[in-house]
Amino acid sequence: MISLVENQTAQTELLTDSAKLLQHVEEVVNQMPAVDVHTHVLPPQFQSLFLYGIDDLLTYHYLIAETFRSTELSHADFWAMTKTERADLVWQTLFVENTPLSEAARGIITILTAFDLDPRAPNLNEARAFFASQDPQQHVNRVLDMARVSDLVMTNDPLHEQETNLWEENISFDKRFHASLRLDSILNDWGNAVPLLSEQDFDVSVKLEGQTFNEVRRFLDKWILKMSPVYLAVSLPAEFKYPDDDVRDRLFNEAILPTAREHGLPLALMIGVRRGINPALRSAGDGMGRADVSTVERISARNPDVRFLATFLSRENQHELCVAARKFNNLMPFGCWWFLNNPSIVSEITAERLELLGLSFVPQHSDARVLEQLIYKWGHSRKVIARQLFEMYERLLASGRAVTPKEISRDVLRLFSENFRAWTANVR
Ligand code: FIX
Ligand code: ZN
């Protein structure tokens, strides 16, 4: 048995050998529990909103979009199918008739392999039987363990009827699942949000008249009390501007920012999505565009007492975001979002963040919608992050400064959880 003293010596040993350094970085990055700062995963108590198993995995919108590139089937015929039939079609098209090379398709292979299921199976019988036989809570425990996710942040929509009904019943659920209060309908679709707010007895008007701002604040206060979110969040189009002279700008200034300030909640800005560019694909039909990073510079400058989390969807915005974050310490870049979550791009973004920001950012979130996606999204990201971190330490070594195992653990802890915990007092 290694004695405590020997172990402590090992922790402070200088890692001057590259192979040993790489092995150590990989080990720490693979084992470090991560806080997954943005997902769409809900726990089993959310009933049909809890997505898990092979049919949900295969009908993920990333894979639906990819299936249409390799099948002649019409969109209408696809949407007329049941979930089981759609999953069968995706399996047949992307996994049997083709080699599953894309990131989302390889992700399924990683998951199947992790559960010892046959990734070359001719059909889904074995996988369906396996997932159907799992006890939901034990399965959640097992998946979080496998992904080494200690906590995760859900996406919670206070205008989604099925979800709000469950919150109104005060369901209790796994403490590792934290809420985030999503503001997309209010900020991007005010005309349609108004009747939904009215149904919940808030007196708001499309033209922002009367008590509208106070009522939006009262609505947010109510849901903050109910959900205890760790942050407020909104996804925004590539054209988003701040300041602006539209409804969104007024809602931001008169309701959202004052609420964030009053409750000490960070505001997550997810910028660059172009919703529904192909409506025939439904939830798989969103695209992206290059946004203007100076908007987050201005929002950070004008609201120094609010903490912002920011992620941009366009690869072209990533370097500018790093520079903006160097200027505003109330701005925290996070994750490689959606179309960026591919090894080649995660490598590049992680490297430029490390070079420009040192350890002061949140390298990744999963954006998982289906429970088991946590396994592949974290597994694949950890590999890339370990490689980039190793290269940084190796350069440091070449410049004359070796690191110790203790320092590596401290750094990875900061990246994988401490930076986020410092931003959001609620995740403890
Ligand atoms: O707006 C978001 O939170 C996006 O991440 C999702 O809407 C998107 O559909 C997604 O799942 C991306 O990974
Ligand atoms: Zn998301």
Locate the ligand 1 atom nearest the alpha carbon of residue 155 and give its number: 3
Q: Tell me the pLDDT of the chain averaged across its residues.
A: 97
Q: Are 21 and 394 in contact (CB under 8 A)?
A: yes
Gap between the Cα atoms of 203 and 210, Å rounded: 8
Q: For ligand 1, which residues put their CB under 6 angstroms from it?
A: 40, 155, 235, 270, 338, 367, 369
pLDDT, tens only, 265-305: 999 999 999 999 999 999 999 999 999 999 999 999 999 99
* pLDDT over 60 (residue 6): no
Using the predicted structure, report yes or no on whether residue 3 has a pLDDT greater than 80. no
* Distance between CA atoms of residues 391 and 131, nearest Å: 39
Alpha-carbon distances, residue 423 vs 233, 353, 355 (angstroms)? 14, 18, 22
At 20 the pLDDT is 97
pLDDT at 7: 72
List pLDDT tens digits, range 335-381: 999 999 999 999 999 999 999 999 999 999 999 999 999 999 999 99
Q: Which atom of ligand 1 is nearest to the CA of 286?
A: 9
Task: Determine the Cα–Cα distance for residues 80 and 62; give it in Å rounded to an integer.
Answer: 19
Residue 2 clears pLDDT 50, i.e. is over it: no
Least distant ligand from the CA of 233: 1
pLDDT at 132 over 60: yes
Q: In which residue are the tokens 């004052």 written?
A: 258
Q: How far is the CA of 367 from the centre of ligand 1 (A)?
A: 7
Site to substitute for ligand 1 among 40, 153, 232, 270, most atoms within 8 A of C-beta: 40
- Rounded distance from Cα 85 to ligand 1 centre (Å): 24
pLDDT band of 1, cuts 50, 70, 90? very low
**Is residue 347 classed as helix, strand or coil in its secondary structure?**
helix
Q: What is the pLDDT of residue 30?
A: 98
Residues 6+ away with beta carbon under 8 Å from 288: 238, 272, 273, 274, 313, 314, 338, 339
- pLDDT of residue 403 exceeding 80: yes
| Number of the ligand closest to the Cα of 234 | 1
Closest atom, ligand 1, to C-alpha of 273:
1
Looking from the CA of residue 337, the nearest atom of ligand 1 is 13
> Is residue 82 left, alpha or beta, with left meaning phi > 0 and alpha meaning psi from -120 to 50?
beta
Ligand 1 atom 9, closest CA = 283
Determine the average pLDDT of the residues in 403-427: 94
pLDDT classification of 428: cutoffs 50, 70, 90: low
The answer, yes or no, to whether the previous bond of 243 is cis (omega within 30 of 0) is yes
Residue from 36, 185, 273 whose mutation best tests the ligand 1 pocket (most atoms within 8 A of CB): 273
Contact indicator for 152, 82 with CB cutoff of 8 Å: no
The whole-angstrom separation of Cα 393 and Cα 396 is 5
Please give the C-alpha separations between residue 64 and each of 70, 73, 87, 125, 323, in angstroms, as whole numbers. Answer: 10, 12, 9, 20, 36
β-pairing verdict for 273-274 and 287-288: antiparallel
Give first-to-last CA distance, the chain, whole Å. Answer: 33
Mean pLDDT for 72-92 is 98
Tokens at residue 75, please? 């969109």
Neighbour count for residue 133 (Cβ, 10 Å): 8
Closest ligand 1 atom to residue 283 Cα is: 9
Probe target for ligand 1 pocket from 37, 41, 183, 338, with the most ligand atoms within 8 Å of CB: 338
Residues 115-121, mean pLDDT to the nearest whole number: 98
Q: Among the atoms of ligand 1, which is closest to the Cα of residue 38?
A: 3
Scored b (16 or more CB within 10 A) or e, 399-428 reads eeeebebeebbebbbbbbbbbbbebbeebe
User: Considering only CA atoms, which residue is closest to atom 2 of ligand 1?
Assistant: 235
Q: Of 336, 335, 372, 368, which is closest to residue 41 (Cα–Cα)?
A: 368
| φ, ψ (nearest 5 deg) of residue 79 | -70, -15
Query: What's the confidence (pLDDT) of residue 229?
Result: 98
| Ligand 1 atom closest to Cα of residue 270 | 1
Check pLDDT > 60 for residue 177.
yes
Residue nearest to atom 3 of ligand 1 (CA): 235
Question: Which of the 8 DSSP states describes residue 61?
Answer: H
Burial 6-32 (b: 16+ CB within 10 A, else e): eeeeeeeeebeeeeebbebbbebbeeb
Whole-number Å distance, alpha carbon 338 to ligand 1 midpoint, is: 7
* Tokens read off for 252: 């931001």
Residue from 231, 235, 271 whose mutation best tests the ligand 1 pocket (most atoms within 8 A of CB):
235
pLDDT of residue 4: 45
Cβ neighbours around 346 below 10 Å, total: 23
What is the 13 CA–ligand 1 centroid distance (Å)? 43
The strand ranges marked E within 141-263 are: 149-153, 177-178, 181-182, 232-236
Using CA positions, which residue lies closest to atom 1 of ligand 1?
A: 235
